[in-house]
Every structure is written in C-alpha cells, then in structure tokens.
Structure 1
Amino acid sequence: MEKDNFFQQELSAINDFTFSNEVANVFDDMVSRSVPFYIEMQRMTAELAANHAQSGTNLFDLGCSTGTTMILMDKLVDEHVSFIGVDDSEGMIHKCREKLNSFNLRRKIDLEVADLAQIVPVENASVVTMVLVLQFIRPMHRLKLIKGIYDGLTENGVLIIVEKILTEEKSFNREYIDYYYDFKRRNNYSELEISQKREALENVLIPYKTSENITMLKEAGFSEVEVFFRWYNFSGIIAKKTP
C-alpha cells in the first residue's frame, strides 16, 4: 500500500480534488488515515449486506474505488449473488481489478466505468452499497440516483450508504470538524496536508445532514430507514425497499 503524500508539498494552486490515477495509487492509505473507523464501517457494511443479499440477485457496489468493500463482502455474502463494481474513475477501476486479482475471491466480479450522475446501472439487486460516494455526487443529481437505485432493487432489497455529514445543530459543526482534524493529526497528516486537502475538497465534497439523507431516501420510496453507524461527522444508513 503506497503512502499518501499527495498534499505533502506546498502547491502554488489548489485544484479541485479528483480521483485521478495518482490518487488511486495511494487511495487505500489515504482513506484509512482520513476516515475514522474505516475498517469497522466496511465490516458493518459487509455484515449488513450478507444479511440482506438474496441468492440469484445482484449486489452493486457503486463508487467501488479499489474494491475494499467487495473484498470484505465476498467473505460473507452468499456465493450465488453476483457482484458488480461501478466507478467513474478509470484509475480506480484499474486499481480495483489489480487488487481483486490478488485475493482468492469466491466469485467473478464485473467492473464497470460509469458516471452515476448520468446513469444508474442497478437492476435485479438485493443490495446496493455506496461507501463515501453520495457526498461526491452533485446535489441536483442525488435524488434521481437514489430513485434509480430504489427502482432497481428487488422486494426487501437494501441500500447501504456511509457518508460524511453535517450536524443537525449548526453550533456543533465546527466542534466536530475540529475533532476530525485531530483524528487526521493522530494519523500523521501535517497542518499543510490538512489545509490543502480541505481546500481541494471544498467544491467537490458536499455533505448533507443525516436528516436530509433520510428525507431523501424516504422521498425516493424507502419506507424503512435506520442509522447503523455514527462518529461525529460520519454516518452510516441502511434503507429497505418493502412491499
């Protein structure tokens, strides 16, 4: 796993963050040092997916990045469930394919390059996962995407999302962000790295409140929605399509 030094040197100009080939190469280190309880989130996602996956259906990992979620789910999910990983970054899909090939997985996994803001490739799915993905979709496209996922789910199918979030009460937002930056410092990110990445993400990562995500899920058709994880400004939600 290559070390994330992406923002270590001072940059003359900060461009919007993209999931480039360079980011893909260091992504696993980047996300493990930048997201609190990242492995625990992934483990919980895999457990929930295994509990709701239906034999003979598909499982879609939207925004699959380097394949970590699918690798963990493969150990637990019924082997008669087909996996499809989707990402809009060619670099991520390439890294994902390399990583998947290095593991002794129980099933063949199909990988697709697609822009989720334009196309929703979900069909005959009992589980859809989106781990730290929806926050990068422009807000104007999110409800359409969620409705497309809902339509592509089987009866009793579930959508599992993990997101960076805003607080419900504005007064706590700054406090939680400070705790988050303390977390990054504990993982050996410098003040320069924290500052430059924050600026690069400013117009790219647009979080919602948990309540806004729940409202959107229900508007899309989900009747059962539950929070399964929370750490300051990160949250995990499962939504079920019931008859």
Structure 2
Amino acid sequence: MIDDLFDRANRPVRPFEFDADVARVFPDMVRRSVPGYAELVGLSGLIARRVAGPRARCYDLGCSLGAVTRTILRQTGPDVTVIAVDNAPAMIAGLRTQFADSDDAERVVTQCADIQTVPIEQASLVVLNLTLQFVPIELRLELLQRIRAGLVPGGALILAEKFAAPEGRAGAWLTTLHEDFKRANGYSELAIARKRAALEQVLIPESLATHEQRLTEAGFAGAVRWFQSLNFVAWLAWI
C-alpha cells in the first residue's frame, strides 16, 4: 500500500512508532525513503551465503516484515534457521502472515521481544538492519557486546545504519540529496517535514567514526564498510 501517513495535515505529529499503520505501508515507505534499500537487502543475503554453513543459526534483529529474513532463507541451505525478532506486534504479525503458507515457514522462528534482552546463542550471522539507530545510545555498546559473545568462530555481524551527516558542505550535500531522493519518489514537502519531526527524538544517528569505534570496543576483530548510498551505510564485522 502507498505510504501517505505524513500527508495528513490535520493529524498531530507524534513520535514515530512501528504501529499497525506503519506496518501496513512499510514496504513502500522503506523503498521510497532509504536509497539503495533493495541492494542493501540483497547483498546481505550474499553475505549470509558465505558465513552460514550447514545447520547455521542466523538472527534478524529488528526484522520488521522480514525482508532480510527472506533473503537469508533464499541464499542459504534448507537446514539454516533464522530467528526473526522485533518488538512491534504489528510487524511480527505481518511477518508471520507472510510466512504462514511458505515452504520456509519451519526455518523461521519469530519472537515479539526486545532485542536488548533476547539471548544470542551459537549465531553464524546477526543482522541489525537499520535497527541500532532506534536503540538508546547508552545501550548500544552492551547490545553489540552480547552479539559478539553469541557468535560462533567465523561468525559475523551486518550493521546497517543511517549515519549522522558531517558538518560543513559534505553533510549539507548528503542531507539535501536524501531529501531530493524522497521528492523524486513522490513524497510531498509536507510529508518530508512531518516525518522528519516524528523521527527527531526516535531515530538517533551517529557518526561513522563512532560506529566503527564501538565495533572495536565491542570486541570485533575487524570491520569493513561494504555498502553506502548517500547517508546510509553498512558494515560487516567479524570475530
């Protein structure tokens, strides 16, 4: 369905949440809001193919409607399991509906839970796809440390985030082009402004350097940026 949630001038702007209204339009919202989203998801599946061997366990934390879960399943063997976790009941309900009649249904374990409390155990791959930015900053290192501790030898983390635009002309270009991307995808000036206001205290981006320093502090042996489109970036971190 078409995302028109922020075109309604007569509705007050509330802090953004992943409720039933957002779940209903989420595929259209993320496609029109996140540059390169399809490529980001597809390449995540190719990474899964490399790191998830027989009987591997993968985690999709903040799974929303399961785009990453589906690409992992497509790219890995029939004995690989994906544990898909989200704290939004509407998202988990939508994911479960999509997999209800799927041949891969038995390979997916869904949990409506807080990713900060879900045990990470014997994981070959953990994915945080545009998820860490919604976790309170003071809790982000602890989450990455738990993920690091739950990876098997050879395991990896995919971390994809919107990063804070740097100061000066470079940051101005990134911000302007991202808004142009939204305009080119049909969002009105009203919708862009209202969604920005809704996300302001909910999605807290950080600098590239901050993310990379935190991955080191969490105990990862190394990390590489493997994707960037405007102010969206993804790292592969390993142990």
In the superposition, the TM-score normalised over structure 1's length comes to: 0.94
Once the two structures are TM-superposed, the CA of residue 224 in structure 1 deviates from its matched residue by 1.5
For residue 194 of structure 2, the aligned residue among 190, 196, 202 is 196
Misfit runs of 4+, over 6 Å: none
Partner of 1:37: 36
**Which sections of structure 1, spanning at least 5 residues, go unmatched?**
none
Residues 39-79 of structure 1 show CA distances to partners (whole Å, capped at 9, x for unaligned) of 00001111011111132231000000001111111111122
Distance in 1 (alpha carbons) for counterparts of 2:202 and 2:105:
36
Partner of 2:13: 14
For the 8 Å contact 1:74–1:107, the answer to whether it is kept is: no
Partner of 1:238: 236
Amino acid at match of 2:162: K
Distance in 1 (alpha carbons) for counterparts of 2:105 and 2:23:
25
Partner-residue secondary structure (3-state), 1:211: helix
RMSD: 1.4
Q: 1:97 to 1:69 in 2, by over 3 A?
A: same
For residue 146 of structure 1, the aligned residue among 144, 147, 171 is 144
Distance in 2 (alpha carbons) for counterparts of 1:169 and 1:47:
34
Amino acid at match of 1:227: R
Amino acid at match of 2:88: S
Distance in 2 (alpha carbons) for counterparts of 1:198 and 1:168:
18
Once the two structures are TM-superposed, the CA of residue 172 in structure 1 deviates from its matched residue by 1.8
Once the two structures are TM-superposed, the CA of residue 20 in structure 1 deviates from its matched residue by 0.4
For residue 219 of structure 1, the aligned residue among 198, 217, 220 is 217
**Which sections of structure 2, spanning at least 5 residues, go unmatched?**
none
Partner of 1:97: 96
Amino acid at match of 2:183: R
Give % identity. 35
Distance in 1 (alpha carbons) for counterparts of 2:183 and 2:7:
13
Distance in 2 (alpha carbons) for counterparts of 1:196 and 1:206:
16
Q: 1:170 to 1:159 in 2, by over 3 A?
A: farther
Partner of 2:162: 164
In the superposition, the TM-score normalised over structure 2's length comes to: 0.95
Amino acid at match of 1:75: R
Question: Would you say how many aligned residue pairs link Structure 1 and Structure 2?
Answer: 239
